[in-house]
Structure 1
Amino acid sequence: MVVAQLASGGVQIFYKLAINDGMNTRVLIAYRYIFATAFISSLAFILERWKSRPRLTWMIALQGFLCGLFGGALGQNLYVESMVLTSPTFSAAMANLIPAVTFIFAIFLGLEKLAIRTWAGKAKVTGTLLGIGGAMVLTFYRGPQINIWSTKVHLLKHKDQHVAASHRGMDNRVLGSLLAVASCFSYATWYIIQAKMGERYPFDYSSTALMCASASVQTVVYAMCKETNWSAWKLGWNIRLLTVAYTGYLSSGFMVVLTNWCVRKRGPLFVSVFNPLLLVFVAILDSLLLDEKLHLGSIIGGVLIVIGLYAMLWAKREEMKSKARLSHSKRSKEAEIINVGTAPAEDDDVSAAATANPRQ
């Protein structure tokens, strides 16, 4: 999972470099899902071709389309636009709001219980409020600049650094924050739909391939409507090709396989605990390679979001332990009832056999 989060941090840096090179963000997202569809479809064909699977119904196809929309086309375009207006570190910090937004959605849809009288319920509410408070600090408080180290490795072009600096005004920062929050809502919606889709179609590679194929169609149509200059679609042997290959094959391909393997080995809670590492890696890479400056507001807001995330994870773990104890207690009582009900019958059988054959 450390490798997975480090690779995800690389995605943010490649995004910024490709955009700095002049690549259209919508075209970038479209190419990402085209590459991802080719990779994931091949994996699904190789690894799941012999498995018996349910028929692909219209409902499963609709859920795949919606997953591609909220988890791919809409979520990624909102996230990248937010990153352009702010910075990779800021966007990565705001992405930690996704568990809190998902929790709010799950409460309204009846998928989660609040249980405010329990410690777990109090921790979930506290974690949600801390996450929202951290996002507000990130948005409206910048604070003094913090220089952790100085480096001469600046991959961004000098002329675009001034443009990037001019985009750090409060108006663009607020707009970028709103887009980041909207992307969190989009991803939270995707998680809800993906959970429902997994019940009907429990095949990781095939469902991911269906999602990526839907996202590729949606992003290509959207990009073609917004970008009519065909020269923007050209890929050469440059940072643009490297970015779409990295994000498509590695992030949407290898990362899915690696994460699914970790989920099977240690469970989803173990995997989600490593999410805040993305913020740390992006902040380090961002300041080292892109010469982005850290500010006190970003650090305070990021810490609040991470604390809120871990409070929610602790609450979820306590709920899982409580359910496991109840399930174990229920099974024990059922076993006792079965033993009590069958014991006399066994004694009668033994007595009857002994009477029939006294030598035994």
Structure 2
Amino acid sequence: MGKEMIGLPIVGMVMAEVAQVGLMIMGKAAMSHGMPNFVFVFYSNALASLILLPASFLFHRYRSFSLSLSLSLSIIPISLSPLIFRFPCRSHLPPLTFSILCWFFLLGLLGCFAQISGYAGIYYSSPTLATAMLNLIPGLTFILAVAFRMETLNLRSSTSQAKSLGTIVSIAGAFIVTFYKGPSLLMAPSHSSSPHLLLGQQSNWVIGGFLLAADCVFASAWLIVQASVLKKFPAELFVVFYYCFFVTLQSGIICLIMGGDLSAWSFKPDVRLVAVIYSAVFGSAFQLGVSTWCMHRTGPVFVSMFKPLGIVVSVVIGVIFLGDTFFLGSLVGAIVIVTGFYSVMWGKAKEGKLDVQTQGMMSESSSQKVALLSNNTGEP
């Protein structure tokens, strides 16, 4: 892969991580101004559903048109190729069965719990802690994948050892950032004079850590279910639309059960409206689109390597603009979590290389067998 081809994915993933941190900060800003986390989840997913519905049809129709155009140009003479524009392009979507809808419902339920617990954890702690805890997801996903027999665990293999050790190290780092604050390393100059900026001044760090850990567990389970859903319904943007749609319904039911003051649904002050729009546009549309585009060109390992960048971005934004304090425990815990994260990613990357080598050896062996059989057949 050339420098130009790798340059755009790097820029794209940096922008996606900045958008992710901005999503956490805007969500905390909305909650600090009186909007409950479940109301924020309802509004953001409802708006995201309205955006993703037409975008999904347009994207799928464009992709189907591009595929039919390339196939037509490959089998039709160039002089006749303009004729293909006279034929409408039909979109070939997988059948939407009741079983698929049940999978979408489960995907939305896990995502709903993940978002509600995640935003609550951010409210009680800080976006810095949230971005550090997100690096738990690869390790927890590995544990769930082993439990559901989607991954094999062979403790004699170096790849399995790396993934297992990385998972344990990541969990240890999560305990560090949750239970140990330590002295402050970075503090905004306006920390004492701007109390309205101190979104985490009255936070409970331990409760926030546990809620963010629950968010990571739900998010890991969400990834496992999403992998199964995409095998049954391979239309990415439609999967995201149905996911946001069911999260809207489920969070709406939670809102009705929780009740509360009607003022919680208001978009006053304006920061609530800005946060909801940002969450819908950049959280569900932009970030997902860029990450999917980068993953298609570079693979999941490359995309995963940018997760620790969110810690740096959240620290800079939190200290400069939000008056957050960066503690020693956050630094030590983040380093431990990132170390475990890269251990899991290294194990996955090496495992992928071994799979490719094994497939190559098997194909070479099969070709040799075919050649041997053909030689035996040709003998008198």
- TM-score scaled to structure 1, two decimals? 0.89
Of 149, 158, 178, 2:195 maps to 158
Of 266, 277, 295, 1:245 maps to 277
Say if 1:259 and 1:271, in contact at 8 Å, map to a contact too. yes
Q: Which residue is 1:325 aligned to?
A: 357
The reply on whether 1:222 has 2:254 as its aligned counterpart is yes
Q: Which residue is 1:61 aligned to?
A: 101
Give me the whole-angstrom Cα distance separating, in 2, the residues matched to 1:327 and 1:166.
Answer: 56
**Residues 20/126 of structure 1: CA separation in 2 closer, same or farther (3 Å cut):** same
Instruction: Name the SS for the 1:165 alignment partner.
Output: coil
Q: Structure 1, unaligned stretches of length 5 or more?
A: 349-360
**Which letter does structure 1 place at the counterpart of 2:43?**
Y
Instruction: Name the SS for the 2:171 alignment partner.
Output: helix
Give me the whole-angstrom Cα distance separating, in 2, the residues matched to 1:78 and 1:341.
Answer: 62
Deviations 1:112-153 (A, max 9, x none): 112211211111111011101101111111111112x7455x
Of 88, 106, 111, 2:145 maps to 106
Deviations 1:216-247 (A, max 9, x none): 11112212322343232122582111111111
Deviations 1:183-204 (A, max 9, x none): 1111111111111111111110
Q: Which residue is 1:23 aligned to?
A: 35
Q: Which residue is 2:177 aligned to?
A: 138
Q: Structure 2, unaligned stretches of length 5 or more?
A: 1-12, 62-89
Identity of aligned residues (%): 29
Instruction: Name the SS for the 2:201 alignment partner.
Output: helix
Q: Which residue is 2:76 aligned to?
A: none
Q: Which residue is 1:86 aligned to?
A: 125
Q: CA deviation at 1:19?
A: 1.9
Give me the whole-angstrom Cα distance separating, in 1, the residues matched to 2:350 and 2:208.
Answer: 35
Give me the whole-angstrom Cα distance separating, in 2, the residues matched to 1:65 and 1:48.
Answer: 22
Say if 2:48 and 2:285, in contact at 8 Å, map to a contact too. yes
Q: CA deviation at 1:96?
A: 1.3
**Residues 116/272 of structure 1: CA separation in 2 closer, same or farther (3 Å cut):** same
Q: Which residue is 1:276 aligned to?
A: 308
Give me the whole-angstrom Cα distance separating, in 2, the residues matched to 1:189 and 1:26.
Answer: 20
Cα RMSD after superposing both structures: 2.0
**Which letter does structure 1 place at the counterpart of 2:108?**
G
Say if 2:197 and 2:322, in contact at 8 Å, map to a contact too. no
Answer with 1 or 2: which has the greater Rg.
1
**Which letter does structure 1 place at the counterpart of 2:145?**
A
Q: Which residue is 1:354 aligned to?
A: none
Deviations 1:153-173 (A, max 9, x none): x7x962573x84233xxxx32
- TM-score scaled to structure 2, two decimals? 0.85
Q: CA deviation at 1:47?
A: 1.6
Give me the whole-angstrom Cα distance separating, in 2, the residues matched to 1:208 and 1:21.
Answer: 29
Say if 1:134 and 1:305, in contact at 8 Å, map to a contact too. yes
Give me the whole-angstrom Cα distance separating, in 1, the residues matched to 2:59 and 2:151.
Answer: 34
Q: CA deviation at 1:5?
A: 0.4
Q: Which residue is 1:70 aligned to?
A: 110
Say if 1:20 and 1:157, in contact at 8 Å, map to a contact too. no
**Which letter does structure 2 place at the counterpart of 1:3?**
M
Q: Which residue is 1:351 aligned to?
A: none
Give me the whole-angstrom Cα distance separating, in 1, the residues matched to 2:309 and 2:147.
Answer: 29
Say if 2:188 and 2:324, in contact at 8 Å, map to a contact too. no
The reply on whether 1:38 has 2:77 as its aligned counterpart is no
Q: What is the aligned length?
A: 339
